[in-house]
Amino acid sequence: MSVELVGVCKRYGRAEVLRGLSFRVDAGEAVALVGPNGAGKTTTLRILATLTRPTEGTARVCGWDVTRHADRVRHCVGIVAEQAGVYGRLSALETLHYFGALYGLDRREVQRRAEQLVSWLGMQEFCRSPAFTYSRGMRQRVQLARALLHDPSVLLLDEPTSGLDASTARVVREAVRSLARQGRCVVLATHSQEEALQVCDRLLRLEGGVVRDELPSACVP
């Protein structure tokens, strides 16, 4: 088991965003959280990435509780947020080296992983230019590379293809499918049921902070 939520509630003041959310995702499985705005998709990912704490309930990643063992969870998780920015005056390679240092990787290991990711995500042409020159698609690839740099077991993606052109979106989807096949646990939050069907093994339909339906993607009409 890679990700497990049991009765997770999250309140911001009086607003209750999650109301006893429970589900689990195993290694090698890609699961989509689909639902309308305000369903709780992003909050769920943020809890799993230790960016916010659940008000009630427990969430575990790779067996570690997100509240009590946040640091261990962070080693296991890579996240690509929807509105993720990049450091405009750093190149993609410099950003990867920076995060490599933050994740405690040695320089040679960072170099090796960065070269692999640059090649795999087709970033060779722009990886040495400052990021303020990048398009939305280029920035999203940098985000994905940054999230995968430390080889995480769990990948959390929030609307990863939002605002991308068709060909860049296809590159990102293929990358996500490939990562799940490599044995990683992928949790994808998306508005698009079509994207969820293309990428994931299972769909969890969230509404009002709880799971309304849970279906294998093959069963979705």
Partner 1 sequence: MRVVWAVAAKELVDLSRDRRALVLGFLVPVLAVPVMSLLVDASTNRRLQSPSRVAVVGSPEARELLRLGEDLVEAVAVADPKEALRTGRVAAVLEVSAEAGEVKEVVVRYRARDPDGLIAREKVAQLVARYAVPAVDRTLRAHGLDREALTPVRVREEVVPGGSGWTGRLAALLVVVWGFAGASLLAADLGAGEKERGTWDALRSAPVHRMALVGGKFVACWVAGAVLAVLSASSQLLFSGPGPVEGAQLAGLLVAGLCASAVAGSAALVVGLLSRSAREANQWAMPLYLAALATAAGSDLVGGTRAAFAVPVLNAFLLAQRALAGGPPEGTQVGSTVLSSAAVCLVLLAAAARLVDRD
**Helical packing angle, 136-148 and 107-120, nearest 10°:** 140
Shortest distance (Å) from residue 86 CB to partner 1? 7
Candidates 28-36, 99-107, 121-129, 165-173: pick the segment binding partner 1 (CB under 8 A).
99-107
Applying CB under 8 A, does 108 fall inside the site for partner 1? Answer: no
d(CA 121, CA 145): 8
For residues 142 and 145, what is the distance between their CA atoms, to the nearest angstrom? 5
From the CB of 63, what's the least distance to partner 1, in Å?
16
Contacts of 28 (CB under 8 A, 6+ apart): 180, 181, 183, 184, 185
Question: Which of 15, 37, 71, 125 is in the footprint of partner 1 by CB under 8 A?
Answer: 71
Among 23, 64, 99, 134, binds partner 1 (CB under 8 A): 99
Phi, psi of 188 (to 5 degrees): -120, 125
DSSP 131: G
Quick check: 146 binds partner 1 (CB under 8 A)? yes
CB of 144 to partner 1, least distance (A): 11
Q: CB under 8 A: which stretch of 101-109, 166-174, 195-203, 207-215 binds partner 1?
A: 101-109
Q: Characterize 80-93 residue by residue with b for buried, 16 or more Cβ atoms within 10 angstroms of its Cβ, and e for exposed.
A: bbbebebeeebbbb
Question: Token match 């959280």: residue?
Answer: 33
Per CB under 8 A, which region of 116-124, 141-149, 171-179, 211-219 contacts partner 1?
A: 141-149
Residue 94 vs 201, nearer CB to partner 1: 94
Measured between alpha carbons, how far apart are the two ends of the chain, in Å?
A: 28
Gap between the Cα atoms of 101 and 97, Å rounded: 6
Query: By CB under 8 A, what part of segment 8-47 binds partner 1?
Result: 12, 46
For partner 1, how many residues bind (rule: CB under 8 A)? Answer: 35
120 binds partner 1 (CB under 8 A): no
Figure out which of the listed residues 16, 27, 87, 153 binds partner 1, where binding follows CB under 8 A: 87
Please report which residue ranges of 80-165 form alpha helices under DSSP H.
92-102, 107-120, 136-148
Q: Is 91 in the site for partner 1 (CB under 8 A)?
A: no
| Contacting positions for partner 1 (CB under 8 A) | 12, 46, 49-53, 70-72, 74-75, 77-79, 81, 83-90, 94, 98-99, 101-104, 130, 143, 146-147
